[in-house]
Amino acid sequence: MKTYHHIDSLRETLNRERAAGKRIGFVPTMGNLHDAHLELVKLARETNDIVVCSIFVNGLQFGLNEDWDKYPRTLMEDSQKLQGVGCDYLFNPDDNEMYPNGLDTQSRVICPTMTDVLCGASRPGHFEGVTTVVTKLFNIVQPHEAVFGIKDFQQLAVIRRMVEDLCMGIQITAAPIHREIDGLAMSSRNGFITEEERPKVSQLNKSLNWVKDHIEAGRRDFGDLGDEARQQIEDAGFRVDYFSVCNSKTLAPAADDDRNITILGAMFTAGARLIDNVSTNLTEGE
């Protein structure tokens, strides 16, 4: 695996790969890699000749009082992990390389739908930072395919919409959520969970699946189901950010006749904000 820190040198290499007829897969990350990230790289490896991974902690998507400065930087360990799963090229730019004119005057990419609800409601400006940096990375790498995890379901939906709206011609592939044995979704922020909290944090996933089971059993009182799930999480000792039953494509509140439904939740531990989701595709008989 070769590491690049500058856009021009990476572009030069990837232009040669494209000229040779190679299909390029791309996995953008912020580093501090765990098994779930590595599964994205493995998935990209299955359908592409060349796999590029980026590690860039994007300040543009962190809001005030968020954990940009605390976000773990573990480049050496990350590089070893990526090499072990067959990544060909690692792109690791610094802030000046990605934002040469500074964050304040950076041109922005704005998706006007699905970005002011759920995570977007509690993190104003977050998705503007995501769509801007992902667009820049797509322009730099110019991949045929990009792989994202379903754990960040809203991010995945927004990026899919952005790619469609801007006619980018990039295949967006969704990778299943990689979980711990107790159901906790793997996340870089799991390292901030205290030992006392750790046995209880799976409650978020349990409540999501509890709502899913009730919907599949025929309940359509989505608001009441959400309220009951919030209470379960609060009873376990955590503060709920949101818990919503949504249309899987639009992320609008689910209607009685929706067949593709995603239940999304976020909660706060003492030191972390955890997100998770589960989806169901109802048949006509349900």
Structure confidence by residue, pLDDT tens digits, 129-184: 999 999 999 999 999 999 999 999 999 999 999 999 999 999 999 999 999 999 99
C-alpha 158/C-alpha 153 separation (Å) is: 9
For residues 203 and 166, membership in a common domain is answered with no
- pTM comes to 0.93
Among 142, 175, 208, the domain boundary falls at 175
pLDDT at 40: 97
For residues 27 and 162, membership in a common domain is answered with yes
Transcribe the chain into DSSP letters: -EEE-SHHHHHHHHHHHHHTT--EEEEEE-S---HHHHHHHHHHHHH-SEEEEEE---GGG--TTSSTTTS---HHHHHHHHHHTT--EEE---HHHH-TT-STT-------SSSSSTHHHHSTTHHHHHHHHHHHHHHHH--SEEEEETTSHHHHHHHHHHHHHTT---EEEEEPPPB-TTSPBP-GGGGGS-TTTGGGTTHHHHHHHHHHHHHHTT---HHHHHHHHHHHHHHTT-EEEEEEEEETTT-SBPPTT-SEEEEEEEEE-SS-EEEEEEEEE--TT-
Among 141, 175, 209, the domain boundary falls at 175
pLDDT at 15: 98
Q: How many domains does the chain have?
A: 2
Longest dimension (CA), the chain: 58
pLDDT at 248: 95
Which two three-digit tokens encode residue 27?
Answer: 């996995």
Q: Could you give the percent of the chain with pLDDT greater than 90?
A: 87
For residues 118 and 142, membership in a common domain is answered with yes
- What CATH number has the domain bearing residue 228? 3.30.1300.10
For residues 70 and 99, membership in a common domain is answered with yes
For residues 155 and 228, membership in a common domain is answered with no
Asked whether the CA dihedral 189, 190, 195, 199 is positive or negative, the reply is positive
The catalytic site residues sit at 37
The boundaries of the domain holding residue 141 are: 2-175
**Residue 180 falls inside a structural domain:** no
For residues 159 and 26, membership in a common domain is answered with yes
**Residue 182 falls inside a structural domain:** no
For residues 79 and 136, membership in a common domain is answered with yes
Q: Which of 37-46, 175-184, 229-238, 276-285 has the lowest mean pLDDT?
A: 276-285
Among 145, 175, 205, the domain boundary falls at 175
**Residue 270 falls inside a structural domain:** yes
For residues 37 and 125, membership in a common domain is answered with yes
**Residue 57 falls inside a structural domain:** yes
**Residue 74 falls inside a structural domain:** yes
**Residue 60 falls inside a structural domain:** yes
pLDDT > 90? residue 286:
no
For residues 97 and 225, membership in a common domain is answered with no
- What CATH number has the domain bearing residue 77? 3.40.50.620
**Residue 284 falls inside a structural domain:** no
For residues 59 and 170, membership in a common domain is answered with yes
**Residue 110 falls inside a structural domain:** yes
Asked whether the CA dihedral 247, 252, 254, 255 is positive or negative, the reply is negative
pLDDT in tens, 72-125: 789 999 999 999 999 999 999 999 999 999 989 999 999 999 999 999 998 888
For residues 102 and 129, membership in a common domain is answered with yes
Taking alpha carbons only, the member of 58, 52, 90, 80 closest to residue 71 is 58
C-alpha 91/C-alpha 9 separation (Å) is: 10
For residues 111 and 211, membership in a common domain is answered with no
Torsion of Cα atoms, 197 then 184 then 116 then 37, to 10°: 120
